[in-house]
């Protein structure tokens, strides 16, 4: 990979990052991860308490890219056809015509995804994994760029359904925003006095640039040692005591791609162990299903992955 290409990719990242940061203050790291996930072709799940800026962040990303953007507000009475689309009989033409659902877009914001029943949530499974949907027995391909960014409240909140494990696995990473620093929050108050900054946000990256970026992520070099290290990390989750379901090979692939994207972000043509350690928790933790005994003793999946990170020697 040429130096110029790397610099170009680094530039794109910077542009996007700066653009989003005009709206979301004090979430630099989180934006970095979201962009890594986006550039590596994965989908992202944002989980946090209400009002922490999940939807705004998702919208800011969508608006920064010059692409189709649709949003589904997940409610308990949402049906699969509300997402995928439905064939409607046209009396004048006497044929069924397909009314495509919101899934046929470039960027899809699935807001409050865990408020819909598992039946509806599972409608997204095929589209997220394979970039296609099946309606009335017909397979319809989605756009080349299909990116789902979902938000959800922690499942302990009232009126939510936990996401099925299969769907959790389809998200490249789950991120938590957390509360921002004091000064940042003061800045937010100042900025939103007249208008919300998101309304003035303009796209800064074109669709072609995104697809080129995605292509470049796959060209970042990863040494065999680091591949082994990643597989060791993922395998350790399967062997850890108290884990009912460990991370899948899909997790290793995602870990590799997101780490590559981070390397590009850092203007490097190769992945270093720091990149892997940086992203591992976000990529792996949400895929694990823990024993109830372990859960009740206060161990979360994130703790467990952090623990595994400190138990496996890293190649340096």
Partner 1 sequence: MKAPPFFLGAILLFWGGQMKTLWFALIVAVILESARLVKVKFELTPSDVNKFVDISIILLAGTIVMALTIENQKALSILLKWLPLIFFPIMAVQQFSTTGKIDLRSFFLGGRKKVEDLFYEPKTIDVSYIYSLFCLFSAGTAKPEGLVFYSAVSLFFTWALWQVRSKRFSCWVWAGCILGILISGYGVQKSLRMAAWTINRWMIQYYADYYTTNPFKTHTALGEIGKFKLSDKIMLRAWSDAVMPGETFLLHTATYNKFILSNWFIRSRFESIVPSEDFPSLWQIHPPVNETKKMTIYFRQGQKTIVLSLPFGVISISEMKVGQCEKNELQVIRIAGGPSLIKGVVSYTGQLTYDAPPDDHDFLIPKKEKNALAAIAAELSLENKSDEEILTCIKQYFLTHYTYSLDLKGKGEAQTPLLNFLRHTKAGHCEFFATATALLLRQVNIPARYATGYMAHEYSRLENQLVVRKRDAHAWVKVYVDGQWKNFDTTPPSFIKIDSQNIAVSRVTDLFSFLGFKLSQLRHETGEKLMNQYGVWLIVPLAGILFFRLRKTNRIKRARMPGTPGENKKQRPGDLSFFPVETLLSQKGFPRYPHETYSAWFGRIDPYFGSRDIMDHLQPVLLLLNRHRFSKHGLNKQEKKKFESCLNRLLKTVIQDLPLAQVDGDIKSVI
- Near partner 1 in 249-268, by CB under 8 A: 268
Q: How far is the CB of 10 from partner 1 (least distance, A)?
A: 15
Q: How far is the CB of 269 from partner 1 (least distance, A)?
A: 6
Choice between 208 and 225, CB closer to partner 1: 225
User: Residue 316, interface with partner 1 (CB under 8 A)?
Assistant: yes
For residues 199-210, one letter each, b for 16 or more C-beta atoms within 10 angstroms of the residue's C-beta and e for the rest, the string is eebeebbebebb
User: Residue 292, interface with partner 1 (CB under 8 A)?
Assistant: no
Choice between 235 and 268, CB closer to partner 1: 268
Per the CB < 8 A criterion, the answer to whether 111 and 152 are in contact is no
> Which one of the spans 87-95, 108-116, 197-205, 217-225 is the region binding partner 1 (CB under 8 A)?
217-225
Q: How far is the CB of 12 from partner 1 (least distance, A)?
A: 21
146 token code pair: 């299909």
Among the listed residues 50, 164, 178, 315, the single contact to partner 1 using CB under 8 A? 315
- Look at strands 43-47 and 171-175 and give their pairing: parallel
User: CA torsion sign, 252 to 257 to 258 to 260?
Assistant: positive
- Look at strands 132-135 and 138-141 and give their pairing: antiparallel
Among the listed residues 238, 244, 270, 297, the single contact to partner 1 using CB under 8 A? 270
51 token code pair: 């009002």
Among the listed residues 131, 203, 246, 273, the single contact to partner 1 using CB under 8 A? 273
User: Residue 246, interface with partner 1 (CB under 8 A)?
Assistant: no
Dihedral of the CA atoms 234, 235, 240, 242 (nearest 10)? 80
Size of the site for partner 1 (CB under 8 A): 22
Q: How far is the CB of 313 from partner 1 (least distance, A)?
A: 4
User: Residue 51, interface with partner 1 (CB under 8 A)?
Assistant: no
Residue 245: partners with Cβ closer than 8 Å, 6 or more residues away: 165, 287, 288, 289
Choice between 90 and 307, CB closer to partner 1: 307
| Three-state secondary structure of 274-292 | HHHHHHHHHHHHHHCEECH
Q: How far is the CB of 288 from partner 1 (least distance, A)?
A: 18
Distances (CA, A) of 278 to 33, 107, 171, 179: 9, 26, 18, 20
User: Residue 192, interface with partner 1 (CB under 8 A)?
Assistant: no
Choice between 65 and 233, CB closer to partner 1: 233
Footprint on this chain of partner 1 (rule: CB under 8 A): 221-223, 225-226, 241, 268-274, 277, 309-316
């Amino acid at each position: 990979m040429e130096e110029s290409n790397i610099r170009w990719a680094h530039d794109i990242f910077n542009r996007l990052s700066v653009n989003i940061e005009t709206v979301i203050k004090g979430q630099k790291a989180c934006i970095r991860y979201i962009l890594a996930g986006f550039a590596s072709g994965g989908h992202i799940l944002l989980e946090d308490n209400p009002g922490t800026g999940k939807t705004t962040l998702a919208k800011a990303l969508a608006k920064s890219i010059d692409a189709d953007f649709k949003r589904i507000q997940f409610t308990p009475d949402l049906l699969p056809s509300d997402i995928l689309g439905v064939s409607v009989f046209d009396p004048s033409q006497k044929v069924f015509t397909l009314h495509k659902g919101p899934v046929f877009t470039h960027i899809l914001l699935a807001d409050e995804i865990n408020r819909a029943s598992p039946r509806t949530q599972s409608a997204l499974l095929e589209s997220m994994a394979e970039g296609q949907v099946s309606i009335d027995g017909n397979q319809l391909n989605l756009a080349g760029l299909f990116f789902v960014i979902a938000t959800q409240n922690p499942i302990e909140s009232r009126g939510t359904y936990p996401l099925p494990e299969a769907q959790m696995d389809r998200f490249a990473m789950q991120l938590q925003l957390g509360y921002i620093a004091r000064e940042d929050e003061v800045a937010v108050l100042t900025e939103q006095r007249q208008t919300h900054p998101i309304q003035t946000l303009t796209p800064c990256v074109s669709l072609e640039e995104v697809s080129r970026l995605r292509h470049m992520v796959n060209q970042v070099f990863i040494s065999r040692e680091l591949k082994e290290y990643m597989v060791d990390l993922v395998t350790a989750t399967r062997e850890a005591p108290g884990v009912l379901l460990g991370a899948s090979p899909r997790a290793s692939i995602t870990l590799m791609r997101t780490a590559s994207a981070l390397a590009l972000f850092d203007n490097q043509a190769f992945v270093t162990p720091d990149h892997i350690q940086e992203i591992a928790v976000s990529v792996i933790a949400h895929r694990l299903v823990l024993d109830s005994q372990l859960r009740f003793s206060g161990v979360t999946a994130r703790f467990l992955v952090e623990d595994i990170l400190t138990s496996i020697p890293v190649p340096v």
